[in-house]
Amino acid sequence: MNKSKNIITILAVVVIILVVFLIYSMNLQMNNKEILKYKQNMIDMEFKYQLGESATCFSRDFTGGNNSNYESCVGSVAAASAVSKPSSYEATNDLIDVGLDGLYKAMINGDKKEIVIGKAEEIRNIFIKLNLDPTDIETTDELNNLVASLYK
């Protein structure tokens, strides 16, 4: 009888340990999901911020030989392009990263600078729309068409 009591006690301890481990694992998994959700929200917020910064940059004055406004725009577009891929908006609007990267590459191409400056208002309007709704495929198509027109 002592032997069966010992076995029952051992099994009870093992079950309690397994339950505690299971609860700990579930809690850890829930915390990891919350952390991932938080990080994704931060990436999405940064992406929208960079789209807004880009819109703001393209409303600045590029005349008078002051190159800092243009360089600021290049930086904002580069940042938006870099953050677009890991954002959750990429899943819905697959070509947004392509358009932003294309615009960035055109902006750093010295031959395209004046063309980009000439289309600043149009680019600003596209960024305003994308800032309001980064999933807007039609606006992304406008961006991609504008980038294509820079190379004609």
pLDDT of 64-85, one tens digit each? 777 889 999 999 999 999 999 9
Average pLDDT, the chain: 89
> CA 13, CA 7: separation in Å to the nearest integer?
10
pTM: 0.79
Return the pLDDT at 23: 77
> CA 10, CA 24: separation in Å to the nearest integer?
21
- Looking at per-residue pLDDT, the higher value among 126 and 30 belongs to 126
Between the alpha carbon of residue 62 and those of residues 26, 70, 79, 94, 113, the distances in Å are 56, 6, 20, 31, 10
Res. 142: pLDDT tops 90: yes
Residues 131-147 have a mean pLDDT of 96
The class level of CATH for 43-149 reads mainly alpha
Res. 30: pLDDT tops 90: no
Return the pLDDT at 1: 56
Res. 138: pLDDT tops 90: yes
In Å, how far from its chain's centre is CA 73? 18
Q: Could you tell me what percent of the chain has a pLDDT over 70? A: 97
Instruction: Give one DSSP letter per residue of 33-71, joined into a string.
Output: HHHHHHHHHHHHHHHHHHHHHHHHHTTS---TT--HHHH
> CA 36, CA 150: separation in Å to the nearest integer?
38
- Looking at per-residue pLDDT, the higher value among 35 and 55 belongs to 55
Report domain extents, the chain: 43-149
Return the pLDDT at 5: 67
Return the pLDDT at 33: 79
Cβ–Cβ under 8 Å, residues 139 and 99:
no
